[in-house]
Amino acid sequence: MSEASIEREETDSKGRYLIRGDGGEVAELTYSKLGTQRIIIDHTGVPDAFRGQGIGAALVARAVEDARAAGRTIIPLCPFAAAQFKRHPEWADVLSS
């Protein structure tokens, strides 16, 4: 999955990363902002059409990259995102304590 295909939408308090499929399906990771320096990943949803392609992991990785670039930290409330953080100790710098 290329980074160019991951879109980001953000408002003052919330945001999401999404990947649109050719058939209209959408995989997404949603988050809420906690102040200006932290985000809470609260949901990752991947339709069956995307299963087994690493789409969910790509969405979390993009959130990590963007958080790192912006100097933010992440609270992975979503069980999938939390599992990805456990698999990637190199993301510890953006994991909120």
Q: For the sheet containing 73-76, what is the strand order?
A: 7-10, 14-20, 26-34, 38-45, 73-76
pLDDT tens digits for 18-67? Answer: 999 988 999 999 999 999 999 999 999 999 999 899 999 999 999 999 99
Tell me the longest C-alpha to C-alpha distance in the chain. Answer: 39
Tell whether 84 is covered by a domain: yes
pTM (2 d.p.): 0.93
Is 97 inside a domain boundary?
A: no
Structural domain for 30, as ranges? 3-92
Residue 88 lies in a domain: yes
Q: Give per-residue pLDDT as tens, 64-94.
A: 999 999 999 999 999 999 999 999 999 999 9
Total of domains in the chain: 1
CA distances from 95 to 76, 86, 88 (A): 8, 10, 11
Residue 24 lies in a domain: yes
CATH of the domain at 32: 3.40.630.30
